[in-house]
A = this chain, B = another copy of it.
Amino acid sequence: MPIFKAPVQDTLFVLNDVLGYGRYANLPGFADAGGDVLEAILEEGAKLSENVMHPLNRVGDIEGCKRAPDGSVTTPKGFREAFDQYREGGWMGLAVPEEFGGQGLPYSVHVAVGEYMSSANMALMMYPGLTQGAIAALLVHGTEEQKAKWLPKMVDGTWTGTMNLTEPHAGTDLGLLRTKAVPNGDGSYKISGQKIFISAGEHDMAENIVHLVLARIEGAPEGVKGISLFIVPKLKLDAEGKPGERNGVSCGSLEEKMGIHGNATCVMNYDEATGHLLGPENGGLKAMFTMMNEARLGVALQGLSIAEIAYQNAVSYARDRIQGRSLTGVKAPDKKADPIIVHPDIRRVLLTIRSITEAGRALILWTALQADIAHRSEDEKERQAADDNVGLMTPVLKGVLTDKGFDHAVMAQQVFGGHGYIEEHGMSQFVRDARIAMIYEGANGVQALDLVGRKLGMHGGRAVQAFFKEVGEFCEANRSDEAMAPYTKQLKKGLNDLQNATMWLLQNGMSNPDNAGAASTDYMHLFGLVAFGYMWGRMAKVAQEKLAEGKSDFHESKLVTARFFMERVMPETSARLARISSGSTTMMLMPAEAF
């Protein structure tokens, strides 16, 4: 049975010490989130994750969801009750404005707690996770009437939400979708078609399910310009706004998946279901992106979450499992062998995971804080700069943290040797669950293209230039600090590689877009490395300041981990740059039939 302990101290280190949470007390919602309150919220979230959600993780994997012939779906034993506790704790509305029943706390706190919960039970957390995406879309694109009608029950968790985008022939390319919307004449529409891969599409944990469905209104233009977003409830609301008559939507089947068995991944059939337009006609893509961006950060968080819990279990195993002797002489003379944590190759694995996970946590919390600033600051320039950062970092976080999350689950599994391959130990589940995060909400190749094709050039490269400037200034500011040299030297080299890669893209990606496409994945990872390196620079700086105040094992290990990152992870930047600047000529030469 895997173990799990929410890394509250690490979160507090990032939010309070590194990001200086205290400085933002002027932002709405932040006054309540400082100091003790913050810690209390994190501790409560930790308790729920460790004691309620975590014990159900393996149950969910083994039992999975079951669909009855009538289309109803039963979730694994215990999931309903755990979701009740989540709902009753007010977690769904943590960062939702108070007028819709939320607590109005910072989004960054929501993300911080969300990490623990996804570590503990990723499949279970997808039910509220999808709801959060739907809430975000309603908040931005709903009319006042729609918000009043749908949000309160979603925010208190009585109803859940879904995102219905994919069809069998339309995944990345939503322009191909065929689901039809025919006006009823009363402002509502009849929605007909089939959607696949719908997470939490049907289940037994909520009174109603609010599907947000992309469809094409009869006569709309072809492609993405002709798609609209609709609210399609499982049960239609009666005059009093209570769920009543069954709508024409049902779960046709459940997918057999590699992992996240506890989440119901549904084929959803729409047969003249009543739907209500959300946002303008043919404006579905924009509304969908609101959900999607929220969801992408949520998925990035899943990558981080699985890496964290997999790491904890690998460490625990490496401390207990005795096998062989240290290369530099016996370390546990009282035992028949040394614990495998004495071996450098095991430490290499553990510190690789840890150094990227801690940097990833800092980066996602930094980005979430930027989102808070973008939504809550009174200063327009500050809002804009923060919004730039969120847009820039979203594809990086989604692509890199989920690629790494999976790699890290695999590396942690490897520490267990043969025992890692046996389902009983739970390491296989982490790998199988983590795998989906690289695919859904835009496969990671699509994230890379979003970064290179859209985010890089936006507003004349404003976002990326500002980020380079910030990292460059950090290196410059610490130039005379001897103690910071081990961190800033590699960071500067990494930044240099990233800037060269960016320059190469500007010079070669415009004239031949295939060069941009060929570079995209390596560029995304290069970007991630530098952003992680920047976070380690900042964490090392704070750790040194704290150590100057007195000895602390916690801060000592931050410095060791930072150094490991710079020595062992950052050197990858040069290989990434070399690949990027090799261009697309060779790969485009091969005729499709020669592959």
Using CB atoms and an 8 Å cutoff, list the residues of chain A in contact with chain B: 166, 169-173, 175-176, 196-197, 255-259, 315, 318-319, 322-324, 327-328, 336-337, 339, 341-351, 354, 406, 410, 413-414, 417-418, 420-424, 428, 431-432, 435-436, 438-440, 443-445, 448-449, 512-518, 520-521, 553, 556-557, 560-561, 563-564, 567-568, 571-572, 574-575, 578-579, 582, 584, 586-595
Contacts and interface: CB of A to CB of B under 8 A. Distances in A.
A517 B343 contact: yes
Given A257-B421, A350-B595, A417-B172, A448 B579 contact: no
Contacts of A595: 315, 318-319, 341, 347, 350, 354
Given A257-B421, A345-B448, A557 B590 contact: yes
Contacts of A513: 327-328
Given A258-B428, A567-B586, A341 B592 contact: yes
Nearest to A336: B176
Work out how many copies of this chain go into the complex. 2
A584 B438 contact: no
Given A258-B432, A354-B595, A517-B327, A347 B571 contact: no
Contact of A344 (B436, B517, B579): B517
Contacts of A346: 445
A520 B422 CA distance: 26
Contacts of A590: 347, 351, 557, 560-561
A586 B563 contact: yes
Given A341-B595, A592-B339, A586 B564 contact: yes
16 contacts: A169-B322, A257-B422, A258-B422, A319-B592, A327-B516, A342-B592, A345-B445, A347-B587, A348-B518, A406-B410, A414-B443, A414-B445, A421-B435, A557-B594, A567-B582, A571-B579
A89 to B, nearest CB: 31
Given A258-B431, A574-B574, 10 more contacts: A173-B322, A256-B424, A259-B421, A341-B592, A351-B586, A414-B443, A420-B439, A431-B435, A553-B594, A561-B590
A351 B435 contact: no
A257 to B, nearest CB: 6
B439 A414 contact: yes
Chain A binding surface SS class? helix
A432 to B, nearest CB: 7
Contacts of A418: 166, 171, 196-197, 439-440
A339 to B, nearest CB: 7
A436 B414 CA distance: 10
A534 B568 CA distance: 26
A440 B315 CA distance: 21
Contacts of A438: 414
B588 A578 contact: no
Contacts of A319: 592-593, 595
Contacts of A344: 514-515, 517-518, 520, 584, 587-588
Contacts of A575: 571-572, 574-575
A414 to B, nearest CB: 6
Contacts of A512: 328
Which 4 A-B pairs have CB atoms at the shortest separation, nearest pair first?
A: A344-B517, A327-B513, A571-B578, A567-B582
Contact of A345 (B432, B440, B518): B518
